[in-house]
Structure formats: C-alpha cells, structure tokens
C-alpha cells in the first residue's frame, strides 16, 4: 500500500507553514499556563485518615508522602488474579524512572491500585516498574477518590498539613496525557499516532485505536526481571 507523504515545498513556504503552526502552539502553551494557574487556585477537601498497604506493610495516607507536603498518585487499573494488568496503565507508568527531582518541589509520585499488595508487588517486578506502589484494597480510598474497582485509571494530587491530608485535583481518561512524554513525542512525528480517529491527511497510515501501544507482556519483555 502506498503511504501518503507531506508535500515537498521550498524553504520559504515551509517556514511560513511552520510559523502558522507555531502561533497555535504558543497560544496552547499560554492556555496551559492559565489552566495551571486556575489549578493552583482550586479549593481542596479534607480526607479521612486512610490506611494503605505498601511494600513494608500498612501505612497511613499521610505517611505515603514520605515527609513531603505534596503527593501525585497514579491509580493503576487492576483485576485481581489476572496474569497481565491493563496494558495502557503498564505502558504509561513504565516511563517514570527518574523522579528524584520532585524532592526539590517537596513532592512525591507513587502508584496506587486496588489489588492485594502481594500481587501488586509481584506484578510491579514482573513488568520492571520502578515506582513505589501502594494498595488500597483494605480501605475505601480508591472509590472515594474516583479510582475504585472497575472505575478505570486516574490521577489525583494531595496536600499534607501535618497528619491531615487534602485532595486538591483529579483527572482521568486523556487528562492523564499531560503527565506523559509518550504521546507528545509520538504527536511530533509526521504520521502522529497513526490511529483511525485522528484528523490526518488522506493516505496517512491509520489503524485501530491503541494498535500501536505496547501491551503488558511487551513491557515485561523490555524491562521486567526476565529481561535483566
């Protein structure tokens, strides 16, 4: 099958077209700045004193901050007893490997899921994930922050004041893409994500949604213990 290609033009025409796109990119950046400013002005809600389960056993939610005042939590989809968990979540969280810079912002980033901690830690190792994982299987925490069983994936942010924890922000679905370098990198490519829902020129390669995403076994093969 012949694949479509961008038209070939001279340098001046290319730079003019690029400038048009860049103006829109700059406008989008300013809008993202405005959204971030609005996010910083959001009110917050006080949470109960939840207990999660970590690698070292039970931990109060306030202790999950590990001494920091701010916490980002990615809520990983989970099915008890499954050999492979959500491929999208497994791929998405595999990108986070160097998060020490968050110390400069008095913050920590963890994965929280509803699965039993023994299964959770075994899966984390199997797929080579580098983050600290916690289980909310013995509390209503997941459901209370819109990431309960069968509710999909999500991101929440929290603020700690002493032993009191507040919920400050939440998103799910494509809202999680702003945490990622995966999709911004792919979107820079001439053919983009190559998914059929995209607004692409005639002749551009396109397949079913998610068809280019690595699945959980792919992540395990690339980064898991068996690949070491």
Render 76-142 in DSSP notation, one character per residue: E---TT-SS--HHHHHHHHT----GGGGGGTEEEEEEESS-HHHHHHHHHHTT--S-EEE-TTSSHH
Residue 228 has pLDDT above 90, yes or no: no
Alpha carbon distance 156, 163 (integer Å): 18
Alpha carbon distance 120, 110 (integer Å): 13
Say what percent of the chain tops pLDDT 90: 96
Q: Is residue 4 part of a domain?
A: no
DSSP state of 207: B
In this prediction, residue 227 has a pLDDT band, given cuts at 50, 70 and 90, of low
For residue 218, the SS3 value is: helix
Q: Is residue 123 part of a domain?
A: yes
For 100-150, the pLDDT digits (tens) are: 999 999 999 999 999 999 999 999 999 999 999 999 999 999 999 999 998
Closest CA to 147 of 138, 157, 156, 139: 156
Q: Is residue 210 part of a domain?
A: no
For 169-217, the pLDDT digits (tens) are: 999 999 999 999 999 999 999 999 999 999 999 999 999 999 999 999 9
At 225 the pLDDT is: 79
Alpha carbon distance 42, 175 (integer Å): 17
Q: Is residue 207 part of a domain?
A: no
At 2 the pLDDT is: 58
At 3 the pLDDT is: 78
At 117 the pLDDT is: 98
Domain that holds residue 193: 45-199
Question: Would you say 68 and 106 are in contact if contact means Cβ atoms under 8 Å apart?
Answer: yes
Q: Is residue 7 part of a domain?
A: no
Average pLDDT over residues 38-58: 97
Q: What is the mean pLDDT of the chain?
A: 95
Q: Is residue 107 part of a domain?
A: yes
Domain harbouring 110, CATH code: 3.40.30.10
For 55-86, the pLDDT digits (tens) are: 999 999 999 999 999 999 999 999 999 999 99
Query: Is residue 19 left, alpha or beta, with left meaning phi > 0 and alpha meaning psi from -120 to 50?
Result: alpha
Q: Is residue 168 part of a domain?
A: yes
How many domains does one find in the chain? 1
């Amino acid at each position: 099958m012949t694949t479509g290609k961008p038209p070939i033009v001279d340098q001046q025409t290319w730079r003019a077209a690029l400038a048009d796109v860049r103006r829109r990119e700059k406008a989008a950046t300013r809008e993202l700045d405005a959204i971030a400013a609005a996010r910083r002005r959001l009110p917050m809600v006080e949470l109960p004193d939840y207990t999660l389960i970590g690698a070292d056993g039970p931990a109060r939610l306030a202790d999950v901050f590990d001494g920091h005042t701010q916490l980002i939590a990615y809520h990983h989809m989970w099915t008890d007893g499954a050999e492979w968990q959500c491929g999208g979540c497994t791929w998405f969280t595999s990108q986070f490997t160097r998060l020490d810079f968050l110390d400069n912002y008095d913050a920590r980033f963890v994965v929280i899921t509803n699965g039993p901690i023994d299964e959770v830690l075994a899966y984390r190792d199997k797929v080579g994930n580098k983050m600290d994982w916690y289980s909310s299987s013995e509390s209503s925490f997941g459901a209370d922050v819109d990431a309960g069983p069968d509710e999909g994936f999500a991101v929440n942010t929290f603020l700690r004041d002493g032993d009191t924890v507040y919920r400050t922000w939440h998103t799910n679905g494509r809202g999680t893409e702003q945490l990622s370098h995966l999709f911004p990198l792919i979107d820079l490519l001439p053919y983009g994500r190559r998914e059929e829902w995209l607004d692409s020129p005639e002749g551009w390669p396109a397949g079913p949604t998610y068809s280019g995403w690595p699945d959980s076994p792919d992540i395990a093969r690339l980064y898991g213990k068996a690949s070491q």
